[in-house]
Amino acid sequence: MTMDIIIHEIAIDGLPDMDALTARVAFLFDGCIVSGWPIDEHTDPVLWEADSDVGHGRAFYGVTHWVEFPIGIHLISSAAKEATP
C-alpha cells in the first residue's frame, strides 16, 4: 500500500484546521512522527498534545512541522490489510 502524506511547515502553512482534519494530523518531534494536535494556538511556542497512548499527558513544544494524512491515522493499519493481496 502506498499513501501520500503532506508535511507542513508551521511558519509557512500555519497550524492545521482540526475541524477539517480530525484524526488525520500528526507532528514531527525529535525525528519521529507523533499522532497529535495543537493544544492552544495562542501560546508561544504553540503546545502540542500527543495521543494518550504515546504522549502520557506530556505537552510537546518546539514543533516546527506537522503531517497531514489522507485518512484517519487509526485507519491506516486496516487500510493496509485490505490493500494486501
Ordered by start, the domain boundaries in the chain are 6-83
Q: What is the CA radius of gyration of the chain?
A: 13
Between 13 and 85, residue with greater pLDDT:
13
Rounded Cα distance between 58 and 39, Å, is 11
pLDDT at 85 over 80: no
Smallest CA-to-CA distance from 24 within 78, 81, 72, 79 is with 72
8 A C-beta contact, residue 15 and residue 65? no
What number is the average pLDDT over the span 68-82? 91
81 — pLDDT class (breaks 50, 70, 90): confident
DSSP string, the chain: -----EEEEHHHH-S--TTTSTT-EEEEETTEEEEEEEEETTSSSPEEEE-HHHHTT-EE----EEEE-SS-GGGHHHHHHHH--
Question: Is this model's pTM higher than 0.85 or not?
Answer: yes
| 13-66 per-position pLDDT tens digit | 999 999 999 999 999 999 999 999 999 888 888 899 998 888 777 889 999 999
